[in-house]
Amino acid sequence: MKLEPQWIVGFVDGEGCFHVGISKHADMKAGYQVLPEFTVVQHERDVQALHALKAFFGCGVVRSNHGNRMAYRVRGREHLLERIIPFFEEHKLKTKKRVDFQKFRKIVRMMREDRHLTPEGIEEIRRIKNQMDRGQSR
């Protein structure tokens, strides 16, 4: 399955998710772990489309999700910074998911500067994350 950039944008506008998890983690300097991830979930019958995304971006994994759902997932910070984020900067999302992407990008860039290792940084990341989740209803 060969994917064109605009198909990917349309598919991700529909099915993609830019998510930032924040969880308590005693080993981390600021007491919290920040886990950004880009995911696309599909019914297992369309796992081919997820493998095609993985091949296109050259990173990430395809794993089973809940029940008969599969997910393409990118968590690696370098992969997010060097592959996922530049792609969606060049090929802009058309739905409000673009706003989530921009906030996601901001958080990943803050992490590049190690700001998630300070309490102030965690507070700022949490504030941005809360703005992202507000728009999500699924």
Smallest CA-to-CA distance from 46 within 1, 97, 10, 94 is with 1
- 131 forms part of the interface with a second copy (CB under 8 A): no
- In whole angstroms, what is the distance from residue 128 CA to residue 120 CA? 13
Stretch that binds a second copy, among 18-26, 30-38, 45-53, 119-127 (CB under 8 A): 45-53
Stretch that binds a second copy, among 74-82, 106-114, 115-123, 130-138 (CB under 8 A): 130-138
| Contact letters for a second copy, residues 2-41 (x by CB under 8 A) | -xxxxxxxxxxxxx--------------------------
User: What spatial distance separates the first Cα and last Cα of the chain, rounded to whole Å?
Assistant: 28
**How many Cα atoms sit within 13 Å of 30 on the Cβ side?**
19
Nearer to a second copy, 32 or 56 (CB): 56
